[in-house]
Amino acid sequence: MQRHTVPYKATGRFAPIVTDYLADAPALRALHTHRPDRPGILKAAAERRFTDAQRATLVDALHRQYAGLEMGDAVRHNLELLARPGTCTVTTGHQLCLFTGPLYVPFKILNAVRIAHELSTPERPIVPVFWMATEDHDLAEVDHAWVNGQRVQWPATAGGAVGRMELKGIGPVLDALERAMAPAPLNDALRSALHTAYAEGRTLAEATRRLVHHLFGAFGILIIDGDDPELKRAFVPIAERELLEGITAQVVQRANDQLAPTYAVQVNPRPLNLFHLAEGRRARIEREGDGFRVLDGGPSFTRSEVLAALAERPQEFSPNVLLRPIYQCTVLPDVAYVGGGGEVAYWLQLRPLFEAFDVPMPAVVLRTSAGVLTTKQARHWSSLGIGWEYLFRPVEEVHARIATQHSGVDTVLAAEREQLARVHADLRARLIRVDPTLEKAALAQEHRALRGLERLESKLLRAAKRRSQDLIGRADAVRAAFMPSGLQERRDNILPWLNTRPALLSELLELLDPFDTQFSVLVEE
């Protein structure tokens, strides 16, 4: 593949807080501990402390979670490394999207792998981790995949943590996936992996682990499920303080107050930021007098009852989006987290929370954003004579740029507008010197002249567009492929590309540099 780049800011697709963070804006420096670059992550690794007890709990949990699954040499090696004192992790995470979901999920995983590979040393090993967000309950986010422009959907019924849901009725979904892969039939290796992972009776968490392991295991990615009773024991002190003190709302608000004058706040804390998990239900916990109640028909607890339940059954308590990073960095020796723009934005709200719980905050790295074009599409775009940044510009601006480029005439009469304004300003001044009451007439005449110039400009642009209609149609077709409904990476699934390019993931690992803060336009060769 070839790679072309566009600065993130030039795409207009990233929030100001994200581009300012990448540019090391002074206003944001107090909201993170380590810069999202190689020196920042290495500094985080040098400072990271993780006790032998924490490490033993983590390694035992991973061995337990991989039971019945052939690890492979790379995963086994990294798990052995993780058992050693001093080994750190680079983590990314996501919801359990069907068949890995949109392209950016594989991009996140590959970024974590690359950071670990680049920065690991014999003295300070770093291993990549994928955190499965099994406790999320938003089924609509994970029950489908877009394959060759077709929505392949699992007709499941929402109910509690999605990771615990059984894959009932998944057979017809796999059949629909095969049909959507046309005209290229699903290759045998990928078909076998999909049918093994998404077997009737497995949970969505088990299926996701198996498919991610099949695709990325050769790179040494360790896959962890936070919905684990033993890991959750480390969450007990955090949850207890949240229940008794409501600490998250207090401290996150400080960061929000810093951000709010300049940036949109991504997440607002609730008075309590915990869920209660039960069969078929994940519901918020709220205070009720001196006790607590679980919404959506869940139980009520006295103060002593909720603390007893937390101590005896920690797996029934689940962090929300603000507490999940705290839990994650309690059970993992994280030195970097790879996330999308929205994740970066809310992680910047969390430094006071990390400090309140005395948990080291990792460097927060923006995942690589990328889109894929065929060689033919890229050739068509190059023939337009406009930059790659125009892939992201509003359609009218793109059309005008093409018309101007290929008509040989500047369709924007900006210079003429400035000249007209100067002439009329001079004329108005002369009239006022003679008779001040003539100013109103002069302004009216100027307005009419400018309106006439605007009409001529519109006619000139329409004429130029007519002469460039074939090229404009070509541009529209390329943009529709690159941004089918927003960015391609936010919708399209990777399987069609993997099906015909078995080495694709290795190619992407080399091409997608998480430290290169530019959008990647990838061209298939």
pLDDT digits (tens, 9 = 90+) for 146-181: 999 999 999 998 778 999 999 999 999 999 999 999
Q: What is the pLDDT of residues 54-95, one digit of tens each?
A: 999 999 999 999 999 999 999 999 999 999 999 999 999 999
CA 202 to mean position of chain CA atoms:
27
pLDDT tens for 332-370 read: 999 999 999 999 999 999 999 999 999 999 999 999 999
What local confidence, expressed as pLDDT, does residue 4 receive?
A: 95
* Burial of 140 from C-beta contacts in 10 A (0-12 / 13-18 / 19+): exposed
Tell me if the bond preceding 183 is cis, omega within 30° of 0.
yes
Mean predicted confidence (pLDDT) in 107-117: 98
Categorize the per-residue pLDDT at 464 as very low, low, confident or very high, splitting at 50, 70 and 90.
low
Distance, CA of 306 to chain centre: 35
* Contact criterion met (CB below 8 Å) for 392 and 13: yes
From the list 385, 512, 492, the residue with the least C-alpha distance to 99 is 492
Q: Which residue has the tokens 């962890």?
A: 224
**H or E element, residue 281:** strand 281-288
pTM score: 0.89
Packing angle of the helix pair 469-482, 439-467 (nearest 10 deg): 80
Average pLDDT over residues 171-198: 95
Spatial distance between the Cα atoms of 310 and 238, rounded to a whole number of angstroms: 11
Alpha helices in 388-515 (DSSP H): 395-407, 414-434, 439-467, 469-482, 495-500, 504-511
Please list the helix, strand and coil fractions of the chain in percent, rounded to the nearest 5, in that order.
55, 15, 30
pLDDT for the residue numbered 461: 65
Phi-psi region of 168 (alpha: psi -120 to 50; beta: other; left: phi over 0): beta
CA distance 308 to 488: 48
Determine how many CB atoms are found less than 10 A away from the CB of residue 150. Answer: 15
**Domain limits, the chain:** 2-234+321-371, 395-482
Give the mean pLDDT of 99-113: 98
pLDDT score at 413: 66
Q: Taking all residues of the chain, what is their mean pLDDT, rounded to a whole number? A: 93
The strand pairing partners of 484, in sequence order, are: 486
Share of the chain above pLDDT 90, in %: 79
| Mean of pLDDT values over 117-125 | 96
In this predicted structure, what is the pLDDT of residue 280?
A: 85
Q: Cα-flanking dihedrals φ and ψ of residue 125, to 5°?
A: -65, 145
Question: Residue 86: which residues within 8 A CB-CB, separation 6 or more?
Answer: 123, 124, 125
Does the domain made of 2-234+321-371 have the CATH classification 3.40.50? yes
Element (H, E) at 91: strand 88-94
- How confident is the model over 263-320, as pLDDT tens digits? 999 999 999 999 999 988 999 999 999 999 999 999 999 999 999 999 999 999 999 9
The maximal CA–CA distance of the chain, rounded, in angstroms, is: 96
Predicted confidence at residue 410, as pLDDT, reads 66
Give buried/exposed letters for 79-116 (b at 16+ CB in 10 A, else e). bebbbeeebbbbbbbbbbbbbbbbbbbbbbbbbbbbbb
The label of the residue with tokens 């507490």 reads 323
Whether pLDDT at 126 is above 70:
yes
Evaluate if residue 238 carries a pLDDT over 90.
Answer: yes
pLDDT digits (tens, 9 = 90+) for 42-60: 999 999 999 999 999 999 9
Q: How confident is the model at residue 468 (pLDDT cuts 50, 70, 90)?
A: low
**Got the DSSP string for 329-389?**
HHHS-EEEEEE-HHHHHHHTT-HHHHHHTT-PPPEEEEPP-EEEE-HHHHHHHHHTT--GG
